[in-house]
Structure 1
Amino acid sequence: MHEIVFLDRDSLIAELRTPAFPHRWRDYPATGPAQVAEHLRGATVAITNKVALRKDALEQLPDLRLVAIAATGTDNVDLGYCHARGIKVANIRNYAVHTVPEHVFMMILALRRNLLAFRQDLKDGLWQRAGQFCLFTQPIHDLHGSTLGIVGRGALGRAVARLGQAFGMNALYAEHKGAASVREGYTAFDEVLREADVLSLHSPLTPATRNLIGEAELARMKPSAVLINTARGGLVDEAALARALSEGRLAGAGFDVLSGEPPRADNPLLALDLPNFILTPHVAWSSREAMQRLADQLIDNIEAFARGEPRNLVGP
């Protein structure tokens, strides 16, 4: 009899079907760091979306056999410890291939066409006082003919490229930063920084990708470029980005993620009140349709494990 525990059920707005095998189910709206071991006591299957599962908690859970992550990212789970203990870890794949790219292009279009700045101009009465039928207070740039740089060539990166190509953009996939050679179909990382009119990040957060975009990388980008991050907040040095936007060294940025979530009040991006910066609260993935696909795949993963045919496994 499997004991299944969902640590943060309120993080998923979707119907969860009952797994088709004998089990007991417990869920909690949310779980704090100090509650992890207590909530998972006796569990054979742990479901977590964003609750961290670290060694100090995992070593108190001798019955645990599967960590079913209700997300694609795995940086909240100690994969090395799970692998050493024989605990399987499964994640969700390709559920957000429509919703995240749509969110990316919502931000790109708003920034390239200066939507927020024009909205403020109208609130300030500039059009009402204009001497002609239109208002030229803000620059507008077409997507057609521009260059879309993409960091990360997974399902989301490829989906963003397809949308960009539909708009007439030239898509470039960035090679790994600092790579000695460039693979076919990729462009050197620094060249993508120099050429991109829009740079969109779709990489996991690892020790190698933390602060992937910092002061030096922002300096290599065009002052007219836009940076989009719907992946992980730690990919970008947030203080460096805030300075670049405030000093006019970057045309705009759209972020759905921050380095700490929920964010601390002192995060430098929270203080930015600029018409060329859009911040959304980690919701690019969360269309109702995408969350239901995630929920269905989550139960699929658990059922496959119970059959002895685990799927979507991730290693250390």
Structure 2
Amino acid sequence: MHRIVYLERDSIIAEVRRPDFPHHWAEHAKTLQGEVKERLAGATIAIVNKLRIDAELIAALPALQMVAVAATGANNIDLEACRVRGIVVSNIRGYAAHTVPEHVLAMLLALSRNIFAYRQAVADGSWQRAEQFCFFDYPIRDLHGATLALIGSGNLGSGVARLAAAFGMRVLRSERKDALSVRPGYTLFAEALRQADAVSLHCPLSAETSKLIGESELRSMKPSALLINTARGGLVDESALARALQEGWIAGAGFDVLSVEPPRNGNPLLAPELLALPNFMLTPHIAWASQPAMQALAEQLISNLEAFARGEPQHVLT
């Protein structure tokens, strides 16, 4: 009988049904990193979200057969160590196909139309003191006719492309930064940045993509361009972005992620002067978290467990 231990149950708000095979189920609302080894002792299946499962931990868990990641990103799992041990690692795919693209478009609309600046103008009485019926101190741009560059064109990037096209945007799919040739339908990375009125990131975090967008990339973008990141905080040099926003290298940014979450020890993008800017939006990693999306995640999580128990593992990373 499988022993299943769910280490971070509170990381989703959804009904999580029990698997259809014989098992013992234990769950913890939250788990500290230092508690992982003890709680997984004897477990054959571990369900994790952001906790680290490294080679040392894997070596200390001889019964472990599967790591079920309750998310898409799995950079917190030592996949090679799992592969060597024959441990199956499965992740969640496709569940955020609507919620993340909608968040991206919400950020693009709010920044393009200067919604926060105008909201503040009403709050501080500027409109009330205006000499005419409207108050337009801040530029308003349409998404229609603007160029959107997508860095990463998987399920989420494609979802953003569909919504952007519906708004009349021209969509460029960027080639990988280090690519020596360009696939049909793609644009060189540097050229995509140069042409873009907005850039949206949708690639995984890896050694190759860490700080993919740094000072040189930000300076190569149009001064009127927007940068949206709903993928991983480490894709962007956050100190460089803070300077870009303060010094006007780009027009604005919308972020749903930071390099360390939660940001208990601060972050350049949490500086009060940045959070007060009307052209910078920072949300607490919730682009994925609509209620329908979380329920779809929960269902796929259990489906992954059941497929593994049948001997037909799915969504496998190892």
1:264 alignment partner, SS class: coil
> What number of residue pairs does the alignment pair up?
315
Partner of 2:90: 90
Answer yes or no: is 1:306 the counterpart of 2:309.
Answer: yes
Match of 1:154 in 2: 154
Aligned to 2:176: 176
Structure 1 residue 281 and structure 2 residue 291: aligned? no
| Greater Cα offset, 54-63 or 228-237 | 54-63
Distance apart, 1:264 and its partner CA: 3.2
1:198 aligned onto 2:198 = yes
Q: CA deviation at 1:266?
A: 2.7
SS in 1 for 2:270: coil
In the other structure, the counterpart of 1:244 is 244
SS at match of 1:234: helix
Offset of 1:301 from its aligned partner? 0.4
Q: State the match for 1:211 in structure 2.
A: 211
**Which residue number in structure 1 is paired with residue 21 of structure 2?**
21
Aligned-pair CA distance for 1:85: 0.5
Unaligned stretches of 5+ residues in structure 2: none
Q: Which residue of 1 aligns with 2:297?
A: 294
Identical residues among aligned pairs (%): 62
The TM-score normalised by the length of structure 2 is 0.98
Structure 2 residue aligned with 1:70: 70
* Structure 1 unaligned regions, length at least 5: none
Counterpart amino acid of residue 79 in structure 1 = L
Deviation at 1:284, TM superposition (A): 0.4
Instruction: String of CA shifts for 1:158-205, please: whole Å, max 9, x gaps.
Output: 010010000000000000002111111100000110011010000000
* SS at 1:269 equivalent: helix
2:141 aligns with: 141
Superposed, 1:264-275 pairs within 5 Å as 264-271=264-271, 272=274, 273-275=276-278
Please state whether the residue corresponding to 2:269 is helix, strand or coil. Answer: coil
Deviations 1:103-139 (A, max 9, x none): 0011000000000111111111111110111011100
Alpha-carbon offset, residue 57 of structure 1: 1.3
Task: Report the Cα offset of residue 265 of structure 1.
Answer: 3.9
Partner residue in 2 for 1:257? 257
- Paired with 1:254 and 1:155, the residues of 2 have a C-alpha distance of 20
TM-score scaled to structure 1, two decimals? Answer: 0.99
Which secondary structure does the structure 2 equivalent of 1:299 belong to?
helix
CA–CA distance in 2 between the matches of 1:222 and 1:31?
A: 44
1:256-300 deviations in whole A, cap 9, x for unaligned? 000000013430101122110000000000111000000000000
Q: Bigger shift: 228-237 or 49-58?
A: 49-58
3-state SS of paired residue (1:127): coil
One-letter code aligned to 2:67:
V
Distance 1:43 1:132 in 2: 69
Distance 1:81 1:302 in 2: 20
